[in-house]
Amino acid sequence: MEIKKSAIAGTLESSDVQIMLSTGKNGFEFELESDVAKQFGDQIKETIVNVLKKYKIENAEIRVIDKGALDMVIKARAITAAQRALDIVDTPQWEVL
Q: Which residues bind another protein (CB under 8 A)?
A: 5-8, 11-14, 18, 20, 22, 31, 33, 61, 63, 65, 67
Q: Say how far apart CA 45 and CA 1 lie, in whole Å.
A: 19
DSSP 95: G
Pick 26 or 94: Cβ nearer another protein: 26
CB of 5 to another protein, least distance (A): 7
Three-state DSSP class for residue 16: coil
CB of 67 to another protein, least distance (A): 7
Question: Which value, to the nearest 10 degrees, does the dihedral of the CA atoms of residues 77, 46, 51, 34 take?
Answer: 10
Pick 90 or 95: Cβ nearer another protein: 90
